[in-house]
Amino acid sequence: MENTQHLKKRLKSVANINKITKAMELVAATKMRRSQEIALASRPYALTALDLLANLTLIEKSTKFPMPELLQQRKIKRVLFVLISSDKGLAGSFNSAVFKKFEQHMERDKEKYRQEEKFFVAVGEKAFQYLSKKGIAVLRKFVQAGDYTTAEQVKPLTDFIVKGYLKTSAPGGASWDRVVIFSTHFRSALKQEPHVRKALPIQFDHLLETIKEITPSTGKFADIIKEQNITFGGEIKDIKEYLIEPSPEAVLEDLAKHLLFMQMYHLILEANASEHSARRMAMKTASDNASDLSETLNLQYNKSRQSAITKEIIEITAGSEALS
Amino acid sequence: MKLSIYSLKKVLFQGQAQMLNCQTVMGEITILDNHETFIGVLKPGVAKVVDSAQKEHFFEITSGFLEVREGNEVRCIVEV
Are A159 and A260 contained in the same domain?
Answer: yes
* Residues of chain A where predicted confidence (pLDDT) is lower than 50: 224-237
Q: Are residues A52 and A135 in the same domain?
A: yes
Cβ A95 vs Cβ A86: under 8 Å: yes
Mutate to test the interface with A, among B65, B72, B78 (most CBs of A within 10 A): B65
Number of structural domains (chain A) is 2
Query: Do A154 and A175 fall into the same domain?
Result: yes
**pLDDT score for A221:** 55
Predicted ipTM?
Answer: 0.86
Within a domain: A257:
yes
Using an 8 Å Cβ cutoff, are A45 and B8 in contact? yes
User: Are the Cβ atoms of B37 and A240 closer than 8 angstroms?
Assistant: yes
Residue A297: CATH number of its domain: 1.10.287.80
Asked whether residue A158 is assigned to any structural domain, the reply reads: yes
Q: Tell me if A255 and B10 make a contact (CB, 8 A cut-off).
A: no
Question: Is there a contact between B38 and A258 if contact means CB atoms under 8 Å apart?
Answer: no
Looking at the structure, do residues A241 and A300 belong to the same domain, yes or no?
Answer: no
Q: How far is CA A9 from CA A21, A168, A286, in A?
A: 19, 63, 19
| pLDDT, tens digit (0-9, with 9 covering 90-100), for B43-79 | 899 999 998 888 999 999 988 889 888 888 898 988 8
Range of the domain at A238: 27-279
User: Considering the entire predicted model, what is its pTM?
Assistant: 0.80
Phi/psi at A245 (nearest 5 deg)? -120, 140
Average pLDDT, integer, range B22-27:
89
Q: How far is CA A60 from CA A66, A131, A238, A247, A261, in A?
A: 8, 42, 13, 11, 22
Phi, psi of A106 (to 5 degrees): -65, -40
In angstroms, rounded to a whole number, what is the distance separating the alpha carbons of residues A286 and A292? 10
Q: Which domains does chain B have, with CATH numbers?
A: 2-79 (2.60.15.10)
Same domain assignment for residues A129 and A236: yes
Confidence (pLDDT) at A215: 62
What is the spatial distance between Cα B75 and Cα B6, in angstroms, rounded to a whole number? 8
Q: Give contacts of A224 with chain B, Cβ < 8 Å.
A: none
| pLDDT tens digits along B56-66 | 999 999 888 89
Using CB atoms, which residue from A38, A45, A254 is nearest to B41?
Answer: A254
